[in-house]
Structures are given as C-alpha cells and as structure tokens.
Structure 1
Amino acid sequence: MDRYQLMFDRLGKIKQGAFVPFVTICDPNPEQSLEIMRTLVKSGADALELGMPFSDPLADGPTIQGANIRALNSGATPDICFELISKIRQEYPELPIGLLMYANLVFSRGIEDFYQRCAKAGVDSVLIADVPTNESAEFVAAAEKFGIHPIFIAPPTASDETLQSVSKLGGGYTYLLSRAGVTGAETKANMPVADLLARLNQFDAPPALLGFGISEPAQVKEAIDAGAAGAISGSAVVKIIETNLDQPQQMLQALEQFIAPMKAATQQ
C-alpha cells in the first residue's frame, strides 16, 4: 500500500493540499512525544514527518537543535523511536509516516538493517538530510528493497541535472525547499516556487511538499496556489513544544490551535 499516493489521491478528490507537521521523536520525552503525535493527527495533519534525535543536526536551526537535545536528554534511542512509530502506525493504519534524519544514524547499525527496521515499524519514507542524490545509491537500493520511499530535497537553486535525479530517484513526495539555509520559522519562506515546480513536473517528480520557514496559514495557501501538493511545517510546531514544556495540556491545546488553521488553508 502506497500511503502517500492514497493520501494525495484522497485529497485531490476533495480539492485539498496536504499539511504535514514535523516533530522530533521523543521531544520532550517518549511519553509526551506519543501524545503530541496523536494530537497532530487528530487536529488535521495528513501525514507526519518525524526527526530521529541526533547530536549534531547540521541542516537545522536552533529550534530543532533544541528538540534534539531535549529528546536525547530524555533517553531517546533509535529503539525507543521505532517503538513509538509502531504505536502510531497501529493507531493510524493509513497515515503516511516519514523519517527525516542524518546518515550517521542509518550507518550505525548497517544500512539494510536500518531500512528493515523502518519497514517493520511502519515507516513509509526516509529523507537523509546530508545525503545528496549523487551519493545515495546504497540508501536508495536498501530503501527500495524494503518498500520504503527515498525522499530527496529540491533546493531553490537546483540545476536541471539535480532536479532530474531527485525526480528519478525519489518516491512518495519531493521535499521542496522554499529557501536556502537551515530550518527555522524565524526566516520566512521565500516564494515564488512556481518555476521550480514547473521544472519538477517536467521531470515527472513525485508530488512536491514545500518546507522551511512555513509558519502561518497564508504561506500554506500560497504554496498550494503556486502548485505544490502541500506544505511541511517543522520549527513553528517545535517552537510550541519548547514554549509549553512545563504545561503539557496547554502544549497539546496550542498544537491543536496551530494545526487546525494550517490544515484549513490547504482547501482550494
């Protein structure tokens, strides 16, 4: 079952784009993390993009770095992360679940072993932030062997050659960057992306989700109006966790209040 395809088909019929929040697994701790993921889905998330905690997240700004530190301090391990993913998978059988991570975590137990564990836990896709298409052969082969979509980033400055590789090697969706730099809601998305989307379509790329700096409903609407299949919001979601660490119930309410209008903005 290709959950991304099913999601895009379902949303297309009701004229909606996908809204996909990102959180770091085990932030601020495993128990709360599970509640956070449930809240995101109940509040309208069409899919989840989950970060595997890592000590040196180079592509991330201070907000998501903070999430990684909190998760690791709470005792997060890949085993615990996969357990939480399995629970979410059992509760939401049709929900697309993507992992966003760094190569070291994939290497640590062997590439094939890692993708096998992803498949067992119910992961649909894996995006490795520090592996460009021209270094991805081993990862793509293992992903395909275990039925996992390899996700690639299409940066705003990409050459046709890069976009062609992203389109050919990627599956599930294409992660379209709204701007260069590191993640963070402080630096706004830098539209327009219509030209990049047109070039991706020319190469028959998987549907594009726009990420980096997406923190308000107007940006979601703008992304979808430009032709993206949806939008991903990470730092803005993680910021809500960070600002409500001492008030778990208030945190869940604040997440719901953020997600619902972001999802509503996907309606065309």
Structure 2
Amino acid sequence: MTRIDAKFAALKAEGKKAFVAYIMAGDPDLETSLELMKGMPGAGVDVIELGLPFTDPMADGPTIQAAGQRALDGGQTLQKTLDMARAFRETDTTTPIVLMGYYNPIYNRGVDRFLQDAREAGIDGLIVVDLPPEEDAELCIPARAAGLNFIRLATPTTDDKRLPRVLQNTSGFVYYVSVTGITGGQAAQAGEVGPEVARIKAATDLPVIVGFGITTPDAARTIASVADGCVVGSAIVKLVGEGRPVPEILTQIAALAAGAHSA
C-alpha cells in the first residue's frame, strides 16, 4: 500500500473528501517553493501535486506555463525537484507526493534510474500527461512494478469505449479533468461533473478526484461533494506568481481545503 492508498483509506474511514493541491517546483525559486510545500499539510492539504517544470507544457494554461518558465529560469531541474521532495520527507513521512509533468525529462534521465531516484526521494505517484494508455509499457507498468502509483486522467471526451483502456493500469486515484481544454480555464460545474464521476466510479473502485476550474472554497466544496475530492492548482500558482508571501498563500490554501473538507 502506497502513501496515496493509505491516505484515501483513512479519509474514507473518516467520511472526508480529499483536498489535493498543486504547486510548481522551483517557483518562484527553490527555497520559497520548498517552504510552501512544507506548510501545505498543516494547511489541510491531503495530497501534494508537485509540478515538474517543462519547456512545452501542452496541457497547462498561462498561469502554470508562466510558473514553469519562472522555475526553469531560476535553474530548476528534475534533480532539484527530487531533492525538494527528499527535503520535504525529512520532516513529513506521511503526506503523499504526486509528481506531475511530462515524459521528456524522465526519458532523458532513463526510466529505470528515474524510478529508483523517485522512490528514494519519497515520491509516491506520477501523473505524466503526454503518455497515453497505449504507451503503458514505457513508464506506467514499470512505475507500478517499482511501487509507485500511476495516475491517469479521464476527461469529458473519455467515452464508455475509451474508459476501460484509461483505467486498465491506473492506480492511486483517477484524476477527472472537469472541463475540456487547459488548466486555469472555465469554472467546473457540479451538475456536469457529478454524472461523469458516477460513470467513472461505476467502472473502478479507485477514488475519483476532480481538477481544473476550481478556484474558490465554495467551488471546492461543491465539486468535492460529487466526487471523492478535488484538486486546486492554478488558483494557488497565481498567488505565487503575484509574489504573495508564503503565510498568506497558506492561509488561502487552508480556506480551499476547508471548503473541500466540508463537502
């Protein structure tokens, strides 16, 4: 059982919904992002999504694209991102970390070496948005063999014919993208999301977490109420980009987490 599995089992036992929060590693610099990461569990974050900056983030909107560019400009690398996770693990051995990004940096390091390094750094799961199920042998299956969850995205265009393929080797949880398009776009609507979550849950025992288009505590509560939890990314990254101090960002994160937990 991974930390992700354990966290969702504990939340289920408590009758609580999960709050998942995304930050970009190295944004605006390594020290600030690590300080923010270390403060997230105390603000109510159940699972941390740690963004791996990449030069061509095709699934991300302007807010997260800009964050990735700030991180790259500051010298953030895959190694520094793993080092960041390792530093976090010095004081927190229970909060799950999901590394979210694109395949190119992983491929460049070599899959076997990357998986070993990721495990040793304390990474629990991977979301690699540009590897479809047809490429599972590339990373997904080796990751699971190495003890890492491989989390797959389902979208409004994932129909009943496609869904079993998407779910086939997925573990940890299913990330349902509530709106078509890129991150930071239109607001998620519970009336549209609810039936889709129910359709996915009918096909898997995994928790279904909803992301994209969630920017306020009310939205977090509303969306979490029709799923097993929610993800907030761009709304947090926007605060970082505005240069807000870490305590202020953590206060905003705590309000979002409280919204999700009240669902």
Aligned residue type for 2:187:
K
> Is 1:145 aligned to residue 145 of structure 2?
yes
Question: Could you say what secondary structure the match of 1:189 adopts?
Answer: coil
Aligned residue type for 2:253:
I
> Is 1:90 aligned to residue 85 of structure 2?
no
Paired residue for 1:267?
A: 262
Q: Distance in 1 between matches of 2:111 and 2:210?
A: 27
> Is 1:229 aligned to residue 228 of structure 2?
yes
Q: Say which of 223, 242, 251 aligns to 2:245.
A: 251
Q: 1:12 to 1:141 in 2, by over 3 A?
A: closer
- Tell me if structure 2 keeps the 8 A contact 1:40–1:255: no
**In the TM superposition, what whole-angstrom CA distance separates every residue of 1:174-213 from its partner, at most 9, and x where no partner exists?**
11111010001x5212432222222212211421111011
Q: Give aligned pairs, total.
A: 261
* Percent of pairs with identical residues: 34
Runs of 5+ consecutive residues of structure 2 not aligned to the other structure: none
| TM-score of the pair, normalised by structure 1 | 0.93
Q: Distance in 1 between matches of 2:256 and 2:18?
A: 10
- Tell me if structure 2 keeps the 8 A contact 1:214–1:220: yes
- Tell me if structure 2 keeps the 8 A contact 1:164–1:200: no
Q: Distance in 2 between matches of 1:88 and 1:200?
A: 33
Paired residue for 1:50?
A: 50
Shift of 1:61: 0.6
Q: Distance in 2 between matches of 1:237 and 1:99?
A: 17
Q: Distance in 1 between matches of 2:257 and 2:144?
A: 31
Paired residue for 1:247?
A: none
- Tell me if structure 1 keeps the 8 A contact 2:201–2:208: no
After TM superposition, the runs of 4+ consecutive aligned structure 1 residues lying more than 6 A away are none
Q: Distance in 1 between matches of 2:205 and 2:163?
A: 8
- Tell me if structure 2 keeps the 8 A contact 1:170–1:205: no
Paired residue for 2:100?
A: 100
Q: Distance in 1 between matches of 2:189 and 2:106?
A: 31
Q: Distance in 2 between matches of 1:145 and 1:4?
A: 16
Question: Could you say what secondary structure the match of 1:113 adopts?
Answer: helix
- Tell me if structure 1 keeps the 8 A contact 2:32–2:246: no
**In the TM superposition, what whole-angstrom CA distance separates every residue of 1:108-162 from its partner, at most 9, and x where no partner exists?**
1212221221111111110111111122222122102210111100101211132
Q: Distance in 2 between matches of 1:119 and 1:44?
A: 24
Q: Distance in 1 between matches of 2:69 and 2:86?
A: 23
- Tell me if structure 2 keeps the 8 A contact 1:210–1:230: yes
- Tell me if structure 2 keeps the 8 A contact 1:39–1:255: no
Alignment of 1:54-133 (within 5 A): 54-133=54-133
**In the TM superposition, what whole-angstrom CA distance separates every residue of 1:61-105 from its partner, at most 9, and x where no partner exists?**
111011111111111111111111011122211111001111111
Q: Distance in 1 between matches of 2:162 and 2:3?
A: 26
Question: Could you say what secondary structure the match of 2:57 adopts?
Answer: coil
